[in-house]
Amino acid sequence: MRGAVIHAPGDVRFEERDDPKIIEPTDAVIRTVATCVCGSDLWPYRGIEAVDEPHPMGHEYVGIVEEVGAEVTSVTPGQFVVGSFATSDNTCPNCRAGYQSSCLRREFMTTCQAEYVRIPQAQGTLVATPDRPAGEFVPSLLAVSDVMGTGWYAAVAAEVRPGSTAVVVGDGAVGLCGVIAARELGAERIIAVSRHEPRQKLALEFGATDIVTERGEEGVARVKELTGGIGADSVLECVGTQEAMRQALRSTRPGGNVGFVGVPHDVRIDGEELFFSHVGLRGGPAPVRRFLPNLIDRVLTGRINPGRVFDLTLPLEQVAEGYRAMDERRAIKALLTP
């Protein structure tokens, strides 16, 4: 089969790779229906994370089950399944606590920009849709496997409540999905931080009530202006830089919460500042599995349409162009179909 391999920063190739096989009795192999390029894939692509040797890429997927190991009974060949970028047995103490992305048997998926994918811990990782979904739902179901699940977790970690005010820092696909999540969780006011007109537009369509274009201290001041000088109840930090974290913490009211889902790169939080801020902080790789049944249902009932973050669709063999378009910010997110 064929799939993406990164050879060096800026050098992603579509090439022949070994066919995935059942290795453990807890595995499944799926035929990919759709996969995509993630903002975090750009870290190695841009050379910010080292690329020591060529390796496959991709951690977002929906597909059709081809084969299952002997211990997998929850999904069967032929079913359409949605998974998560982190595998989970869904039975360990961390899974039972709702943190499946800290499963004791967790593996991070890394081979999904490909025609076929091996899914470890398939029993606890994959969720089948009730029927084979219509093609129009595929982008949103794919979004659920990562960016929508992550935006949802950001809103949950930031404790968005009905009637509250939420700020979303970051206008990538995760931030935009965070706007959807904040709206679904009942936020009355949703302030999206974005400088990019097409992303502002999508944020407003997804439920944002205000757009803030300023960053850093100016962005903080603007949010304070919009919130009676106090700050927001909930802030979703969807970037992962020091500047974004600082802006998020300072935009939050005392007693409010920051949910941070951008993988932090050289982020340090000052203990004394956090202390006097009274802000609660929780982040991490989203436990997407916790939210999958709920989010799949919201997609299939037409309540949410996070697939709209895909503004570029390419054949999988043009995966390199997907990276380029996202790197150059010509696309928010590129969907790939084998």
Restricted to residues 75-104, the positions that interact with a copy of itself (CB under 8 A) are 93-94, 97-99, 101-102
Residues 30 to 69 in contact with a copy of itself, rule: CB under 8 A: none
Cα 27 to the chain's mean position, in Å?
Answer: 23
> Angle CA(118)–CA(124)–CA(125) in degrees, nearest 5?
45
Contact flag: residue 285 with a copy of itself (CB under 8 A) = yes
Closest approach, Cβ 304 to a copy of itself, in A, equals 25
Q: How many amino acids of this chain bind a copy of itself (CB under 8 A)? A: 39
Among 47, 130, 198, 254, which residue interacts with a copy of itself (rule: CB under 8 A)? 254
263 binding a copy of itself? (CB under 8 A): yes
Q: Is 230 in the site for a copy of itself (CB under 8 A)?
A: yes
Side chain identity, residue 260: F
In this structure, the strands spanning 280-283 and 252-260 are parallel
Q: Among candidates 324, 52, 329, 4, which has minimal Cα distance to 197?
A: 329
CA distance 179 to 21: 39
Among the listed residues 50, 52, 271, 328, the single contact to a copy of itself using CB under 8 A: 271
Closest CA to 77 of 87, 66, 86: 66
For a copy of itself, the closer of residues 27 and 41 by Cβ is: 41
Structure tokens at 276: 């006097």
244, 262 contact by CB (below 8 A): yes
Q: Is 221 in the site for a copy of itself (CB under 8 A)?
A: no
Q: Which is nearer to a copy of itself, 8 or 48 (CB)?
A: 48
Binding site for a copy of itself (CB under 8 A): 93-94, 97-99, 101-102, 157, 228, 230, 242, 245, 253-255, 260, 263-272, 274-285, 287
